[in-house]
Amino acid sequence: MFQCPSFECKKCPRLLDFRAQNQLKFPHYHNGPVESFGDLNAQILIVGLAPGLNGANQTNRPFTNDYAGDILYPALKKFGFARGNYGKVKNDGFELINVRITNSVRCVPPQNKVTADEIAACRPYLQAEIAAMPNLKIILTLGSVAHGAVLQALGYKKSAFKFAHGAEHFLNRHNIILLNSYHTSRYNINTGTLTADMFDGIIQRLTQIL
Ligand code: URA
């Protein structure tokens, strides 16, 4: 049975320390491991980096109230992978269609940066997540950290699958297509590394692959 990490998980001292600070500063925030969003029966899993401090860490829904969600969720809706209005809160009634979203690391890290140890500590949760999706066909990774986290979770060599925006890798032992996109972060949008049109292209590609 699939188990989301709970508040009992004490694997990452740095993240626990950051949580304790945030509990004092933002007592009304979730401040814990963020649950995945969407149905386990979905054919698509989108994997992000980690919750944003005032976003998913507040709302307990990936990319919700995060800048990155302002790019991700409208694109999903545009191509039929979501319905309802994205209201930046967990109980907005917004629903994903054939998509589930999770993160490489479930707890908010300082400065949006995770360590290799934290990715390794959270790996069993990502492995359990993937194993619990019987219809999984495509994993869309947002950013190179998520790309590496998925490959390691599934036991593939990172060096054999080079991350590139739009790249598609076939994971033969799992019969899964791994599709890469730049992360929808504010930094990538502000620097022009990723545009909303480029990201629409990635989401449109999901419709073609299915
Ligand atoms: N919020 C998330 O949940 N994940 C990310 O990767 C970024 C923002």
What's the gap in Å between 103 CA and the centre of ligand 1?
A: 7
**SS3 assignment, position 67:** helix
Confidence bin at 73 (pLDDT 50/70/90): very high
What local confidence, expressed as pLDDT, does residue 86 receive? 98
Percent of the residues in the chain that have a pLDDT greater than 70, as a whole number: 99
Atom of ligand 1 nearest to the CA of 183: 6
Looking from the CA of residue 112, the nearest atom of ligand 1 is 7
- Structural domains for the chain: 30-209 (3.40.470.10)
Task: Determine the distance separating the centroid of ligand 1 and the alpha carbon of 106, expressed in angstroms.
Answer: 9
pLDDT tens per residue, range 95-110? 999 999 999 999 999 9
Check if 37 has its Cβ closer than 6 Å to any atom of ligand 1.
no
> Does 56 sit in the ligand 1 pocket, CB within 6 Å?
yes
Question: Is the CB–ligand 1 distance for residue 72 below 6 Å?
Answer: no
Q: Is 103 in the pocket of ligand 1 (CB under 6 A)?
A: yes
Type of residue found at 27: P
Mean pLDDT of all residues belonging to the chain? 97
**pLDDT above 70 for 2:** no
Is the full-model pTM beyond 0.95? yes
Please identify, by atom number, the ligand 1 atom nearest to the C-alpha of residue 142. Answer: 6
- Buried b / exposed e across 170-202, counting CB within 10 Å, b at 16+? ebeeeebbbbbbbbbbeebbeeeebeeebbeeb
Q: Which of 138, 136, 123, 141 is nearest to 184 (CA)?
A: 141
Using pLDDT thresholds of 50, 70 and 90, give the confidence band for residue 5. Answer: confident
* Nearest atom in ligand 1 to 61's CA: 3
pLDDT above 80 (res 1): no
